[in-house]
Structure 1
Amino acid sequence: MQATLPAEATRIAPGLFRLRMALPFPPSHVNCWLLRDGEGWLVVDAGAKTEGAQQLWEETFASVLEGRPITRVLITHFHYDHVGLAGWMCERWQAPLLMSRTEYLLARLLLAEDSANLTAQMLHHGRTAGAPESYLHHLTRRRPLYRSEVTPLPPHYQRLVAGETLVVDGRPWQIRVGRGHAPEMVCLYSAEQGVLIGADQILPRISPYIGVVSWEPDGDPLAAFLASNQTFRDLPRDTLVLPSHGEPFTGLLERIDALDAHHAERLDTLTKALTVPMTAYEAARVLFPRVVEDSQIGFVIGEGLAHLNRLVATGVLLREDGADGLPRYRRAPEAALPHNPA
């Protein structure tokens, strides 16, 4: 007799299930997907390495798989709420790992990196941004980064390339890549079914986190994100989007419009505020005035820097070192305020 389907598992369509896995941090859950694949199943994202997560997967295996194995494990990007249990799952089922090259190598690099080095890098990033001492102290007290949150990955993988086709259960899925939230995040589109597995690129209710990372402090992920989103505009308006966070939705083009407008408004807000020099942290608090938890300050700094670096790249802001050696940002004298229609 087939086991009872866990409450967290939902049938989206024949041969397509969602597993909604709880997270102990915002945005509270991550969606993983199971696709029937011939005599087995393809998993898209393995979820976080959290208490009870493996047990939930085992319950799902017992109820959803109909006695068939997991034959492939596809991970959309390197963030630990997606890749956390990938190594365990690949070993559990002796299944190959599918990822884009950048995401796989970045995950392997972070797993191999000494935790003390990662912490030191984060501390430098925070100090340069002008972060408060409480946040810097928090960084030294939390558990080792990444390695404690991700099971060891297989030493080899199958590369996914944008524009190529992944055949699942005899049906073609176009491999698309989203950027900005992660450098080479895999999305899958089935024209036959009218379905886009959108990962974290286009979410229904919240804007994906777009942040500058400590190892690329001058990066411009917001430019990458906004440009990447435009590559999805060729999809039909009624495409069903399966996001990594939130509920499946339609209205893809309207959602892209909303994300464009959201970031235009944030850029406008910063431009208007920076009539006086501010550190990255001070400027980020203009965008996130209510965030007080030290565990969230890193995200505040990262997202703030993404918008600051975009404005520096377009000549709207100047970045100059202050007397204390910390970079500060201010509006360029010749910069015109952007027009942000209501």
Structure 2
Amino acid sequence: MQLKQIPDPVGGDVSVGAHGRGLNFPEEPPRPGKAIELADGVLWMRLPVAGRLQHVNIYALDDGDEWTLIDCGQQDAASMEALQALLSGPLRRKPVRNLVLTHHHADHAGGTASLVVQGARPWASRAAWLHLRMLSLETPGTMLPTRTAFNRWLGMSSEEAAALAAAVKNLTLLAPTPPPGYRRLEEGQALTMGRRSWRVRLGDGHAPEHASFWSEDGSLVIIGDQALPSISASLGVDVHEPHRDTVGDWLSASSRLGALADERRLVLPGHERPYRGLSFRLRQIADKHNAVLARLRSSLEIGPCTAMQTLKQALGDELLQEDSSAAAEVMAHLLHLEKRGEAVSQLGKDGALHFARAS
């Protein structure tokens, strides 16, 4: 196990450019199968995930004769093999007795069923747990018509909509059905993990009731995907709740969490590296979303558009599988403008939602 001391808050590597001036990155990532001790009894580890992100961070908190694990990766061969290597390596001295989930997405919670079988007690917000169980019961075949209609609603052609709906992976492989029982995380709840006192704060936007954990001593915050250091977690609407105002939810949650943020805290994110500068980062992400809203207002001045038309204006006509997520993100911002009274929408005969500037 690699052991490193936390540098003084004013020291470390202050990154600029892609990471933005004002963020401080005091640690390098752990190697596969290894852990870095970020603070007394707080271990940082990584598991592989498919796609652009390549990894997810998990954290183990030392509870004396057992571990509390924050998130657990997805249920595929590479991730589960890496998790077992950690269980038999840095964590081999003690069992994992508590599994605490930041949110329900498969790259963070897919391994839940496997760890529960091994004796872990699952903790999650109610929305996270219900979403995890709901998604684990889906199969691509049963959802194919719904996903195709959702893609048409975003403004894709019939061919694009059907092809991208068929490309969705079987979620039952990434997140097998967890048991019905769990322990609920609630806003303001006090927890003891890793021989520290923590306060639960629930975010939103990227995932409903996204849990973050704030140490009462002011030194740490486990933020999950609510505020990543150099990428903005997706706020795209999804097929299960397509009209949800994810952008408004995130902006509201960001305001609440920003009031609690202290730049001295070491922020433990779900991806990339731990950092300091949470207040700055929350403002930076909010500025990014407000800039997107401003560009969309300008687009609506030109004339009515769908989410997909707006996206293709920026990316061109070549459609990739990832563009369905990008279109869903554009849709989320258009819906936020509509909620604010700055846009109106109408469902067209083509099955797409068309937006225009509010008169």
TM-score, normalised relative to structure 2: 0.86
The answer to which structure, 1 or 2, has the higher relative contact order (CA under 8 A, 6+ apart) is 2
Cα distance, 1:214 vs. partner? 1.3
* Aligned match of 1:30: 56
Cα distance, 1:6 vs. partner? 4.0
Cα 1:157–1:193, aligned 2, differ >3 Å: closer, same or farther? Answer: same
* Aligned match of 1:313: 339
Indicate the larger mover: 74-83 or 320-329.
Answer: 320-329
* Aligned match of 1:277: 304
The CA distance in 2 between the partners of 1:224 and 1:70, in whole Å, is 33
Report if aligned partners of 1:118, 1:145 keep a CA contact under 8 Å in 2: no
Indicate the larger mover: 132-141 or 223-232.
Answer: 132-141
> Does the residue aligned with 2:263 lie in a helix, a strand or coil?
coil
What are the residue-to-residue correspondences of 1:224-243 with 2, within 5 Å? 224-233=249-258, 234-243=260-269
The RMSD of aligned alpha carbons is 2.2
What are the residue-to-residue correspondences of 1:145-160 with 2, within 5 Å? 145-160=170-185
Gaps of at least 5 residues in structure 1 are 334-342
Report if aligned partners of 1:31, 1:244 keep a CA contact under 8 Å in 2: yes
> Does the residue aligned with 1:245 lie in a helix, a strand or coil?
coil
1:53 corresponds to which of 79, 87, 108: 79
Report if aligned partners of 1:43, 1:72 keep a CA contact under 8 Å in 2: yes
1:330 aligns with 2:345: no
1:196 corresponds to which of 215, 221, 226: 221
The CA distance in 2 between the partners of 1:40 and 1:110, in whole Å, is 30
Report if aligned partners of 2:186, 2:200 keep a CA contact under 8 Å in 1: yes
Cα distance, 1:321 vs. partner? 3.5
* Aligned match of 2:40: 14
Cα distance, 1:30 vs. partner? 0.9
The CA distance in 1 between the partners of 2:88 and 2:350, in whole Å, is 60
The CA distance in 2 between the partners of 1:289 and 1:170, in whole Å, is 49
1:199-235 per-residue CA deviation (whole Å, 9 max, x = no partner) reads 1001100111001111222210100000001111222
1:270-317 per-residue CA deviation (whole Å, 9 max, x = no partner) reads 11012211112112334x526955321221121011100000111111
Cα distance, 1:7 vs. partner? 5.1
Report if aligned partners of 2:68, 2:194 keep a CA contact under 8 Å in 1: no
The CA distance in 1 between the partners of 2:223 and 2:322, in whole Å, is 25
Report if aligned partners of 2:58, 2:270 keep a CA contact under 8 Å in 1: yes
TM-score, normalised relative to structure 1: 0.90
The CA distance in 2 between the partners of 1:67 and 1:97, in whole Å, is 21
* Aligned match of 2:135: 110
1:268 corresponds to which of 286, 294, 298: 294
* Aligned match of 2:156: 131
2:194 corresponds to which of 160, 169, 182: 169
How many percent identity over aligned positions? 27
Report if aligned partners of 1:284, 1:305 keep a CA contact under 8 Å in 2: no
2:245 corresponds to which of 200, 205, 220: 220
> Does the residue aligned with 1:232 lie in a helix, a strand or coil?
helix
1:83 aligns with 2:109: yes
Gaps of at least 5 residues in structure 2 are 1-30
Report if aligned partners of 2:144, 2:166 keep a CA contact under 8 Å in 1: no
Cα distance, 1:118 vs. partner? 2.0
Count of aligned positions? 329
The CA distance in 1 between the partners of 2:226 and 2:317, in whole Å, is 23
1:145-180 per-residue CA deviation (whole Å, 9 max, x = no partner) reads 311211231221111111011111332110111100
